[in-house]
């Protein structure tokens, strides 16, 4: 019989399973067998309650948000006529199926991108291509800093873009989530870097991911920033090279968090064909990159739009006014 699983710790959530399953102790499940109630309808309704349940869990434990069984046992669920429930389920199932199809398409295009990137960035030894350390294609390298957390003088009213490693996500950076002040620039170790640097995250879960800043900005100390010498390499070519060698770089991480450092990144060998050939490769790979990574165009943008549309209609379809019995 189908069941709804409740994830009660950390990020609160729900899952719908058609077949047999097992789960950990911090989860529990509901199997509904009642006349006039469609279990899939209940599942979709519970999804609309995730945010409020997350807040409830945080109010009980800030360090690790936690629900109890009674929190969901006592949750009121609207029960419109069964025909209405089934019609809503059909609409939301269609959105879910479309989202799954887009996710599968995105994954297929990512594999295609990786295939062509590997092919275009693999050169014969006798092909007249130079191989030098990554550091040798840089005019300048740097890392940033983190102004004292909680200091109003460094953050309040700030206008200077300040990039953190969690924002290094294989995409061009046109803005940052946080800004710092001129005072922070004067009194701390943060520094401006020009646009079109190749930025590689060196710490934690983000380590070895890369991005390109399309605006001048500052970064935290966990970003390694490379200003590329245009006489030797196209900055986008270097970005794609780092992307190709993501696993290799990540595998060189050190310590418990597998952190990288500037020496590891600078030592990464890079093959440099002619600038004209680099430009040709960049034009081809940028098309794939936009398709699979860009959040303003391509499949990620379409997927995000469909998710927003799904959540909008789910909210509308599952908003009911309680009536007296």
**CATH number assigned to the domain comprising residue 203:** 3.90.220.20
Could you read off the pLDDT of 10-31 as tens digits, one per residue?
888 888 888 776 777 778 888 8
Q: Assess whether 43 and 25 both reside in one domain.
A: yes
Q: Assess whether 73 and 145 both reside in one domain.
A: no
Per-position b or e across 58-74, b if 16+ CB within 10 A of its CB: eeeeeeebbbeeebbee
Q: Assess whether 163 and 91 both reside in one domain.
A: no
**Can you give the CATH number for the domain in which 93 is found?**
1.10.287
Q: Assess whether 156 and 34 both reside in one domain.
A: no
| Domain residue limits at 295 | 81-124+274-325
Q: Assess whether 307 and 176 both reside in one domain.
A: no
Could you read off the pLDDT of 183-212 as tens digits, one per residue?
999 999 999 999 999 999 998 888 999 999
CA 162 to chain CA mean position, Å: 18
Give residues with Cβ within 8 angstroms of 310, minimum separation 6. 92, 95, 96, 99
Q: Assess whether 66 and 154 both reside in one domain.
A: no
**Domain tally for the chain?**
3
Q: Assess whether 151 and 246 both reside in one domain.
A: yes
Give residues with Cβ within 8 angstroms of 146, minimum separation 6. 188, 190, 220, 221
Q: Assess whether 181 and 62 both reside in one domain.
A: no
Q: Is the dihedral of CA 63, 67, 71, 76 positive or negative?
A: positive
Q: Assess whether 74 and 91 both reside in one domain.
A: no
Q: Assess whether 244 and 159 both reside in one domain.
A: yes
Q: Assess whether 101 and 174 both reside in one domain.
A: no
pLDDT reading at 7 higher than 80: yes
Q: Is 156 left (phi over 0), alpha (psi -120 to 50) or beta?
A: beta
Beta bridge partners of 79: none
Alpha helices in 121-178 (DSSP H): 152-155
Do the bridges between strand 130-133 and strand 269-272 make them parallel or antiparallel, or are there none, so unpaired?
A: antiparallel
The pLDDT assigned to 289 comes to: 78
Could you read off the pLDDT of 98-122 as tens digits, one per residue?
888 888 887 888 888 888 888 899 9
Give the integer Cα–Cα distance in Å for 245 and 249: 6
Q: Assess whether 250 and 134 both reside in one domain.
A: yes
The pLDDT assigned to 61 comes to: 67
Range among 24-28, 281-285, 299-303 with highest mean pLDDT value: 281-285
Give the integer Cα–Cα distance in Å for 264 and 85: 57
Give the integer Cα–Cα distance in Å for 29 and 36: 20
Give the integer Cα–Cα distance in Å for 192 and 167: 17
CB-count exposure of residue 156 (10 Å: 0-12, 13-18, 19+):
exposed
């Amino acid at each position: 019989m189908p069941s709804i699983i409740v994830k009660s710790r950390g990020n609160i959530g729900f899952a719908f399973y058609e077949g047999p399953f097992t789960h950990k102790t911090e989860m529990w499940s509901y199997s509904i067998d009642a006349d006039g109630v469609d279990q899939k309808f209940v599942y979709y309704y519970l999804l609309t309650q995730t945010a409020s349940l997350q807040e409830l869990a945080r109010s009980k434990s800030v360090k690790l948000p936690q629900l109890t069984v009674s929190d969901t046992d006592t949750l009121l669920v609207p029960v419109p006529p069964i025909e209405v429930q089934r019609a809503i389920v059909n609409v939301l199932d269609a959105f879910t199926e479309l989202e799954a199809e887009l996710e599968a398409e995105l994954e297929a295009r990512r594999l295609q991108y990786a295939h062509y990137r590997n092919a275009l960035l693999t050169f014969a030894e006798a092909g007249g291509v130079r191989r030098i350390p990554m550091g040798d294609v840089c005019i300048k390298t740097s890392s940033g800093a983190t102004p004292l957390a909680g200091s109003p003088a460094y953050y309040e009213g700030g206008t200077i873009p300040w990039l953190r490693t969690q924002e290094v996500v294989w995409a061009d950076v046109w803005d940052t989530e946080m800004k710092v002040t001129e005072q922070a620039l004067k009194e701390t170790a943060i520094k401006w870097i020009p646009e079109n640097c190749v930025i590689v995250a060196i710490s934690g879960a983000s380590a070895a991911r890369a991005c390109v800043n399309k605006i001048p900005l500052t970064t935290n100390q966990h970003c390694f920033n490379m200003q590329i010498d245009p006489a030797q390499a196209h900055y986008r070519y270097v970005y794609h090279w780092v992307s190709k060698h993501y696993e290799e770089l990540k595998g060189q991480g050190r310590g418990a968090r597998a952190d990288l450092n500037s020496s590891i990144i600078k030592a990464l060998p890079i093959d440099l064909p002619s600038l004209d050939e680099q430009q040709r490769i960049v034009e081809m790979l940028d098309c794939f990159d936009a398709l699979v990574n860009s959040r303003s165009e391509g499949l990620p943008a379409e997927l995000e739009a469909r998710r927003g549309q799904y959540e909008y209609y789910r909210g509308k379809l599952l908003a009911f006014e309680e009536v007296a019995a």
